[in-house]
């Protein structure tokens, strides 16, 4: 018998295994579809960098055993989340991966989104929205680890094989968004800073703005208060959990 997860909040789920099932996104009424498109058009007018690319939304979560979750997912595009601003309409929660990258002295890497992004100035963990699989591929635990590994490489220049990442927590926060947090082996501070600088140079060499424009290393949740700007809602709880639970580290 499955057990439905508790009501929405900034929540942690201790998960060791994920089972993913694809479902269809709910159909929209013509009125909601038209309102969604109007909201999206206004958002693009205000921020031309917005891109209506394919993403994965979370359609449901259920416990299927101790520390095991079934995650139902649906294919949408970023435009779907404009429904959050349509009165009476309901958008599916977004689904994203992020990575706890520790240093070898016990700190955690956090990063700030650059001005050219949709979340300019926000401090968060390296990561990004989950993308749907290509034809002939599947979205499973291995694919999610691969996406988390790719985000770490693209944003931070850190090459961590997907096999060394492990799911460390599942979070649910603002707009019921679901975050899949992975833990990767600790690295020296100098390597992290050099890799980030090299990744930023490589992006600028291609006439692109890096997605992240600054990093910081924090030992505790209290140190986050010194980082000026908005913070992702999961950031403080994740850092606090890591700092207080050494037995869960790699």
Residue 9 pLDDT: 53
Name the pLDDT band for 247 (thresholds 50, 70, 90).
very low
Domain annotation covers residue 13: yes
Q: Is the pLDDT of residue 233 over 60?
A: yes
Residue 83 pLDDT: 97
Number of domains in the chain: 1
Q: What is the mean pLDDT of residues 60-75?
A: 95
Instruction: Mention every residue, 6+ apart, whose C-beta is less than 8 A from residue 10.
Output: 171, 172, 173, 233, 234, 237
Domain that holds residue 7: 3-245
Name the pLDDT band for 4 (thresholds 50, 70, 90).
low
Q: What is the mean pLDDT of residues 100-112?
A: 96
Q: Is the pLDDT of residue 193 over 90?
A: yes
CATH of the domain at 106: 3.90.79.10
Q: Are 32 and 89 in contact (CB under 8 A)?
A: yes
What crossing angle do the helices spanning 189-205 and 141-156 adopt, rounded to 10°? Answer: 80
Average pLDDT, the chain: 92
Residue 117 pLDDT: 84
Q: Is the pLDDT of residue 222 over 80?
A: yes
Q: Is the pLDDT of residue 234 over 60?
A: yes
Domain annotation covers residue 196: yes
CA distances from 13 to 62, 63, 170 (A): 11, 10, 5
Q: Could you tell me how far CA 161 lies from the centroid of its own chain?
A: 18
Domain annotation covers residue 250: no
Domain annotation covers residue 233: yes
Q: What is the pLDDT of residues 175-187, one digit of tens each?
A: 899 999 999 999 9
Residue 25 pLDDT: 96
Residue 136 pLDDT: 87
Distance CA 61, CA 18 (A): 10
Domain annotation covers residue 86: yes
Q: Is the pLDDT of residue 80 over 90?
A: yes
Domain annotation covers residue 40: yes
User: What would the 3-class secondary structure string for the chain be?
Assistant: CCEECCCCCCEEECCCEEEEEECCCCCCCHHHHHHHHHHHHHHHHHCCCCCCCEEEEEEEEEEEECCEEEEEEEEEEHHHHHHHHCCCCCCCCEEEEEEECEECCCCEEEEEECCCCCCCCCEECCEEECCCCCCCCCCCHHHHHHHHHHHHHHHHCCCCCHHHCEEEEEEECHHHCEEEEEECCCECHHHHHHHHHHHHHHHHHCCCCCCEEEEEEECCHHHHHHCCCCECCCHHHHHHHHHHCHHHCC
Instruction: Give the CB-side neighbour count of residue 211, counting CA atoms within 13 A.
Output: 15
Distance in Å from the first CA to the final CA of the chain: 32
Q: Is the pLDDT of residue 79 over 70?
A: yes
Residue 71 pLDDT: 96
């Amino acid at each position: 018998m499955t057990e439905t997860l508790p009501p929405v909040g900034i929540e942690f789920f201790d998960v060791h295994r994920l089972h993913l099932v694809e479902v269809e996104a709910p159909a929209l009424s013509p009125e909601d579809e038209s309102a969604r498109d109007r909201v999206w058009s206004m958002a693009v007018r205000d921020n031309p960098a917005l891109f209506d690319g394919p993403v994965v939304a979370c359609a449901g979560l259920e416990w299927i055993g101790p520390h095991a979750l079934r995650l139902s997912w649906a294919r949408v595009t970023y435009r779907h989340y404009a429904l959050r601003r349509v009165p009476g309409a309901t958008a599916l929660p977004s689904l994203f991966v992020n990575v706890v990258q520790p240093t070898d002295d016990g700190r955690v890497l956090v990063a700030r989104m650059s001005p050219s992004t949709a979340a300019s100035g926000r401090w968060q963990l390296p990561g990004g929205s989950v993308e749907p699989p290509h034809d002939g591929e599947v979205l499973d635990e291995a694919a999610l680890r691969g996406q988390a590994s790719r985000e770490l490489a693209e944003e931070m220049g850190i090459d961590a094989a997907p096999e060394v990442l492990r799911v460390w927590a599942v979070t649910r926060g603002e707009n019921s968004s679901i975050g899949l947090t992975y833990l990767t082996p600790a690295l020296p501070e100098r390597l992290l800073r050099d890799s980030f600088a090299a990744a930023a140079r490589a992006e600028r060499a291609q006439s692109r703005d890096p997605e992240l424009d600054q990093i910081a290393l924090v030992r505790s949740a209290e140190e986050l208060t010194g980082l000026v700007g908005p913070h992702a809602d999961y950031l403080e709880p994740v850092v606090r959990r890591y700092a207080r639970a050494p037995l869960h580290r790699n």
